[in-house]
Chains A and B, each alone.
Chain A
Amino acid sequence: MNLKHSWIIATKDLKAIRHRRTILYTIVIFPLAISLLFSYIISYVYSVAPNTRVSDIAGLLDAFAFWFVIIAATLPSPIASYSIVGEKVEKSLEPLLATPVTDGEILLGKSLAAFLPTILATYVSAAIYMTLVDRTLYSVVGYVYYPNWEMVVLLFLLTPLTCLLSIELNVITSSKVTDVRAASQLGSIIFAPFIGLYLAGEIGVITLDTTTLLIISAIFAALAVGMFFLSTRIFQREEILTKWK
């Protein structure tokens, strides 16, 4: 596999995404809104109850942190949908497939174009959230909560895996639909199980601690491998040219 080819495709798609305002707004506004909202809630809690112990809100802080996984699951949908279905709509896949670039290189390039902005937006928003929460906690109780092991596992293991899973799901759904919106909506299905996990954490069915997050990461890694093989089977030039409608 020639990684240079994948990078050329990824940079082309990243350039195109920069000109798509709706995608750009989604990438910037959604994570930023989550960071500001959650850090404001923590700040509000301490403004009305300054004696609250950090241990009392640890569950809430972990649940909030899990939202960055949800962001990583949600953001690739509009990007991957645009970059794959967009090629179908513009009918630009045939000339691309006639070049010496392999299917794997194209798929990797498309995946990188969705992965990089998602990870960047997630990390930036997580950094903003952690900074604002730590500032509140430090000024009130003289304690810094982040970064912690949960956040390390969450950001550096679960978030990339979730992003990867989301992209793979989008590749599969994009091959079955003809318009970007439908692909994006179908790709967003991945949002549902994460909300389920979040709610399970909230109602105490599971604890979103380091061990649980590692177990979830292991399951996601296995799923990502399986989905990768499925998506590469679907993303084949013959399938694309003769069956993609």
Chain B
Amino acid sequence: MIETEGLTRKFGEVVAVDGLTLQVNDGEVFGFLGPNGAGKTTTVRMLCCLISKTSGSARIAGYEVGSDADSANIRKIIGLVPENVGLYEGMSAYDNLDFYGKLYDRTESQRKESNEYFLKMLGLWEKRDAAAGTFSKGMKQKLAVARALVHDPQVLFLDEPTANLDPESAKTVRDFILELKREKKTIFLNTHNLDEAQRICDRISILNTRLMAIGTAEELERTVKGRQTVIQLTQMSDAVVKAIERLSLSNLSYDGTRATFDVTDPERENPPVVRTIVQAGGEIQTVNVQGSTLEEAYLKLVKKHA
């Protein structure tokens, strides 16, 4: 659905996005992680035909980004929730949606139906006639998401949709994104929030001007070394210890009824260990992988470039 190849944007001498190559599949929720100034918003703006690219190429649903002929077609099939929601504060929630519905040439009945659907879905129907300026941050964010969906776009770009929201509002917005995921919408999610990316996204990329990594959250976690598996047993018998030691695990240590060892790929390495312990008569209470977080992978990759 989205393809970029060597996509680059410079502002004078400053390179904001450097040779970005990626592919987002149809119906995929794609997380775009990176620190401030990494070029995430610039990338979204280029893909939404808001600013031009310096070099490289990008296509959305086969339409060429940067081509005057295709720009209008791209804008018809995308929805954007920018970092600053940019609602018309003096206008009602309903009128905000209706205005955008009109700009997308939706008929009156289509607008009526979609406005009601989204306002009800996001719990704003009762407040439909209230000015958007009177809304809380969370309500504004939800309204901005609804605004980006009034024309039923194929691709939705979300730029920090839960930034500055209280936990409850952030959850509502996240749940809504998950609902859209179930509807097989292609979603390009710019976020700082690693936990959010991990919970929502099918794949994640880490950008720091250049693309640092791309993959599922698990794949990115695997790039970090120094993770440990901790197995808690009810009792540490000699038979169990002997069985574990025969596996030649790296940095194996014992602490009472707990065995700890280093792993690089826990999904692959842990099952044989668990099987061995059980076969040796051990009773496992818990198996935990420590230090294997997306946060560590993110920090490592971002620092590597900085």
A-side residues, CB < 8 A to B, are 4-5, 8-9, 12, 15-16, 19, 90-102, 237-238, 241-242
Say whether A94 contacts B86, CB under 8 Å: yes
Q: Mark B42-85, 1 if CB is under 8 A from A, else 0.
A: 00010011111000000000000000000010011011111011
Please give 11 more A-B residue pairs, beta carbons under 8 A apart, in addition to A4-B105, A98-B82, A241-B51. A5-B103, A91-B85, A92-B86, A93-B86, A95-B85, A95-B86, A100-B75, A100-B103, A100-B104, A238-B52, A242-B11
Provide the residues of chain A in CB contact with B52, threshold 8 Å.
Answer: 238
Tell me if B147 counts as interface (CB < 8 A to partner A).
yes
Which A residues are CB-close (under 8 A) to B88? 12, 16, 90, 92
> Which residue of chain B has the shortest Cβ distance to A18 in the bound complex?
B90
Known: A16-B90, A92-B87, A94-B86. A237 touches B76 (CB 8 A): no
Contact B87 A16 (CB under 8 A): no
B144 at the interface (CB under 8 A from A): yes
Question: Residues 132-168 of chain B: 1 if any A CB is under 8 Å from the residue's CB, otherwise 0?
Answer: 0000000000001001100000000000000000000
Q: Looking at the assembled complex, report how far the CB atom of A241 sits from the nearest CB atom of chain B, in whole angstroms.
A: 6
Q: Residues of A contacting B90 with CB < 8 Å? A: 16, 19
What residues on A are CB-neighbors of B103 within 8 Å?
5, 8-9, 96, 99-101
Q: Are B86 and A91 in contact (CB under 8 A)?
A: yes
Q: Report the separation of the CA atoms of residues A61 and B72 in the bound assembly, to the nearest whole angstrom.
A: 52
Once bound together, how far apart are the Cα atoms of A205 and B86, in whole Å? 51
A8 to B105 CA separation, bound complex (whole angstroms): 10
Residue numbers in A under 8 Å from B104 (CB-CB): 99-100
Question: Is there an interface contact between B72 and A100, defined as CB atoms closer than 8 Å?
Answer: yes
Closest to B89 in A: A90
A5 to B91 Cα, complex, angstroms: 18
Does any Cβ of A come within 8 Å of B176's Cβ? no
- Chain A residues with CB under 8 Å of B102's CB are 8
The contact string, 1 if C-beta is below 8 Å from chain A, for chain B 88-128, is: 11110000000110111100000000000000000000000
Whether B148 and A95, one on each chain, are in contact in the complex, defined by CB atoms closer than 8 angstroms, is: yes
Question: Chain A at the B interface: mostly helix, strand, loop or mixed?
Answer: helix
Select from chain A the residue with minimum beta-carbon distance to B48: A98
Pick the residue among B49, B50, B89 that contacts A94 (CB under 8 A): B50
B72 touches A94 (CB 8 A): no
With a CB–CB cut-off of 8 A, which chain A residues contact B75? 98-100
Q: Is the CB of B45 within 8 A of A99?
A: no
Residues of chain A within 8 A (CB-CB) of B148 are 95
Residues of B within 8 A of A5 (CB): 103
Bound form: Cα–Cα A166–B147 in Å: 33
Q: Are A94 and B100 in contact (CB under 8 A)?
A: no
Name the B residues within 8 Å of A8 (CB-CB).
Answer: 99, 102-103
Chain A residues with Cβ below 8 Å from B100 are: 95, 99
A100 with B76: CB separation less than 8 A: yes
B74 to chain A, nearest CB (A): 9
25 pairs, CB–CB < 8 Å, chain A vs chain B: A4-B105, A8-B102, A8-B103, A12-B99, A19-B90, A91-B82, A92-B86, A92-B87, A92-B88, A94-B86, A95-B80, A95-B81, A95-B86, A95-B100, A95-B147, A97-B50, A98-B50, A98-B75, A98-B82, A100-B75, A237-B51, A238-B50, A238-B51, A238-B52, A242-B51
CB distance from B100 to the nearest CB of A (A): 7
**Shortest Cβ distance from B60 into chain A, in angstroms?**
12
Known: A99-B75, A238-B52. A91 touches B99 (CB 8 A): no
Q: A98-B78, A100-B75 are in contact. Are A237 and B86 (CB under 8 A)?
A: no
B18 to chain A, nearest CB (A): 18
A203 → chain B closest CB, angstroms:
46
Q: Do A98 and B80 have beta carbons less than 8 Å apart?
A: yes
A95 touches B82 (CB 8 A): yes
| Interchain CA distance A101-B71 in the complex, whole Å | 10
How many angstroms between the C-alpha atoms of A48 and B100 in the bound complex?
60
Q: Compute how far the CA of A5 lies from the CA of B75 in the bound complex, rounded to whole angstroms.
A: 14
Kindly state the separation between the CA atoms of A97 and B104 in the bound complex, as whole angstroms. 12
**Complexed CA–CA distance, A15 and B92 (Å):** 12
Q: Which chain B positions have C-beta within 8 A of A241?
A: 45, 50-51
B82 pairs with A94, CB closer than 8 A: yes
